[in-house]
């Protein structure tokens, strides 16, 4: 049974709004446009990617019988705001805290890979939708950002660095880690590959 406390719901909402806001601010400075009108775009394309990533961890952890709750990380949100003013975003809005008995490497690996896999699935969904919605500049922007950001989130979180998902997945199953990060890398690099091919041909 998946339950959400009022504190957790508040943390999720705040995280999504702050992340959407900082990305809207950065995109406004890069591509122009109105900050307020960009927030719904970044909320769908970026905010959902961050939060669904964390909720995937929560759902899998609960499936294994652990108590899991998303908690906002104030320092991470402040860092996101500061970096946005510098022209880029380093965002760590919060994390899912898991409580319970001993977590085996397999359980920890599967809980950890759930987040990046969610981003990969979301990126694919945005990519497919883009093929049908490219006629609308607004919807095309949402899908394009959704694909790009979710691909990056998947790849970044799969890096085998302590505290990131990749280190736990690699410890559990190196083959699964290699395949998954390979897919995420190709997806992340896809726009650059297409641009390069276009320049050549």
Which residue numbers are catalytic?
54
Beta strands 94-99 and 67-72: pairing type?
antiparallel
Quick one: tokens of 145? Answer: 């950002």
Number of H helices, E strands in the chain: 8, 2
Output the furthest CA–CA distance in the chain (Å, rounded): 57
Closest CA to 67 of 75, 59, 79: 59
- 94 phi and psi angles, rounded to 5 deg: 175, -170
Quick one: tokens of 67? Answer: 């108590």
Strand partners, 71: 95
* DSSP 8-class letter at 88: S
E runs forming strands in 32-187: 67-72, 94-99
């Amino acid at each position: 049974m998946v339950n959400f406390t009022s504190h957790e719901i508040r943390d999720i909402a705040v995280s999504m709004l702050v992340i959407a806001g900082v990305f809207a601010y950065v995109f406004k400075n890069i591509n122009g446009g109105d900050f307020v009108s960009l927030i719904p775009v970044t909320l769908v394309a970026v905010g959902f990617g961050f939060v669904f990533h964390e909720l995937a961890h929560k759902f899998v952890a609960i499936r294994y019988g652990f108590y899991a709750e998303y908690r906002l990380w104030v320092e991470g949100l402040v860092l996101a705001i500061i970096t946005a003013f510098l022209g880029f975003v380093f965002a760590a809005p919060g994390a899912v805290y898991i409580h319970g008995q001993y977590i085996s490497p397999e359980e920890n690996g599967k809980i950890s890979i759930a987040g990046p896999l969610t981003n990969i699935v979301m990126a694919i969904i945005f990519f497919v939708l883009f093929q049908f919605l490219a006629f609308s500049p607004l919807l095309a922007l949402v899908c394009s950002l959704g694909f790009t950001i979710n691909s990056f989130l998947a790849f970044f979180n799969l890096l085998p660095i302590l505290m990131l998902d990749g280190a736990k997945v690699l410890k559990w199953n190196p083959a699964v880690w290699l395949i998954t990060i390979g897919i995420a890398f190709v997806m992340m690099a896809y726009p650059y590959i297409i641009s390069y091919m276009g320049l050549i041909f």
